[in-house]
Amino acid sequence: MLREIRIRKAFTMVLQTRGSSALSKAQRRLALLKSLDINLDLGSGLTVAAYTNLIEENRATLEAYNTLLSNAEEYRQRLNQMDAALSAMSERMLTGVAAKYGRTSVEYTKAGGSARKRKRSTGSTVPAAEPPQRTSTNGFYTEAKQPVTTN
């Protein structure tokens, strides 16, 4: 579950609405051009009307873009909530199977649970060997030889 959250955070992209400095600048320039002549025509398609149309088209596209991002963010949040609810119910379903059939049952494994392995203890245990003892001679440590015992 923690791994899934890390992956989700890594791929979550924050969608931010945006403004347009070019649009703001163009709107200010349009006001200045209109102060010269409301029907200004500089030739080669450079008219106040064409400039106004392009500014309006840009504004409408930006507004549509920001609306789409807002809707996408709403759906992203809704999907995250639904994923969380689905994960919780999946866990509860598996827990219900475990409660009804047991965690070591075939049904639990069929439902997606992991088969638990039991630790079986054997009747005899081998005692651990003692670590060798160290002795010091002139500041140097050496391992002391231990006597060999036979049973």
Tens digits of per-residue pLDDT, 30-50?
Answer: 999 999 999 999 999 999 999
Q: Which residues contact 41 (CB under 8 A, 6 or more apart)?
A: 47, 48
Which pLDDT score, from 0 to 100, does residue 82 have?
97
Domain ranges of the chain: 19-110
Tens digits of per-residue pLDDT, 53-100?
Answer: 999 999 999 999 999 999 999 999 999 999 999 999 999 999 999 999
Q: What is the CA radius of gyration of the chain?
A: 38
Which pLDDT score, from 0 to 100, does residue 33 have?
95
Provide the residue type at 37 as one letter: D
Strands, DSSP E only, in the chain? 134-137, 140-143
Tens digits of per-residue pLDDT, 104-139?
Answer: 999 999 999 987 666 666 655 666 666 666 666 666
Q: How far apart are CA 70 and CA 30, in angstroms?
A: 29
Helix (H, G, I), strand (E, B) or coil at 47: strand
Which pLDDT score, from 0 to 100, does residue 143 have?
60
Q: Which residue has the higher pLDDT, 87 or 148?
A: 87
Which pLDDT score, from 0 to 100, does residue 6 have?
58
